[in-house]
Each structure stands twice: as structure tokens, then as C-alpha cells.
Amino acid sequence: MKAILSTALVFVACGLTSAQGDRVDPIGTWKCEYKIGDQRQTLELTIKKDGDKLVGTMSWPDQKGAKLKDVKLKDDTLTFSNVRKFMDSEFPLDYTLEIDVDKFKGKAATEFAGNKQEYDIEGKREKKDK
């Protein structure tokens, strides 16, 4: 009886570990939306592994391939920063995203004219073609 119970607990523990590992996987391409004022904006976020580090890029309709800096994953939270170029200005942005399987919700923060501004951002992972 103890052997059966022990085996069942091992399967449950492995299942939970596997589910939790899948839940926090940031690797892939994410289609994202955010709103500034009344304007809905889109961007594409790509996260990859480079050895044991996470790296990535972010692309907007008018700016492609902005490299991410300090990409870190802790529990289910992905953080990084990058620079958004718009017209003749550059805006450093800090992102904090909570991943839930194939979607995330989070915040982006920047400082503009001495004022810190935050906005909500959401994303969905693109499905891989088989």
C-alpha cells in the first residue's frame, strides 16, 4: 500500500512540476496590444534562449528589432527593458509581464518629460506551425 501511495505521489509531484514549468515558459513570439490614451497599439515580442540566458527583440509597425536588455524570468514574471524610438525621441521602457501559459498581462513604464507613465500591456503567444 505504501508503495502505491509513494508512486502516486511521485506522479502527482512530476505532473505539478511539469505543469508549472510549462506555465512559465517565455520562449516564442508574442503578439501584444496596449493602449496609450484612446489609441490601441500593437507590437511583436520575441523571446529566445542563448545558452542559459534569455534574449529577445521587440518590433512595432514603425521600429523593428529593438533588442531587449536584462531579460529575466523569476517564477511567472518576465522583466526586461528596451528603447522605443518615436520620431526624433527615444523612450526607455521597463516591462513587467506575468505569464500564464500562452498569454500574459503586465505593465510597461517610462519616464517622459520628468513624469513616470505606466500602461497596461497584454500578449498572446503565436502558435507554432506544425
pLDDT digits (tens, 9 = 90+) for 22-72: 558 999 999 999 998 889 999 999 999 999 999 999 999 999 999 999 999
Q: Please report whether residue 21 resides in a domain.
A: no
Residue 130 has pLDDT above 80, yes or no: no
Q: Please report whether residue 12 resides in a domain.
A: no
Q: Please report whether residue 70 resides in a domain.
A: yes
- Which residue, among 64, 69, 65, 73, has the nearest Cα to 106 in the 3D structure? 73
Beta pairing, strands 53-60 & 63-67: antiparallel
Q: What is the dihedral of CA 73, 19, 121, 115, to 10 degrees?
A: -40
pLDDT class of 16 with cuts at 50, 70, 90: very low
The CATH number assigned to the domain holding 106 equals 2.40.128.20
Predicted pLDDT at 5: 40
pLDDT digits (tens, 9 = 90+) for 96-106: 999 999 999 99
Predicted pLDDT at 37: 84
Q: How many helices (H) and strands (E) are present in the chain, helices listed first?
A: 1, 9
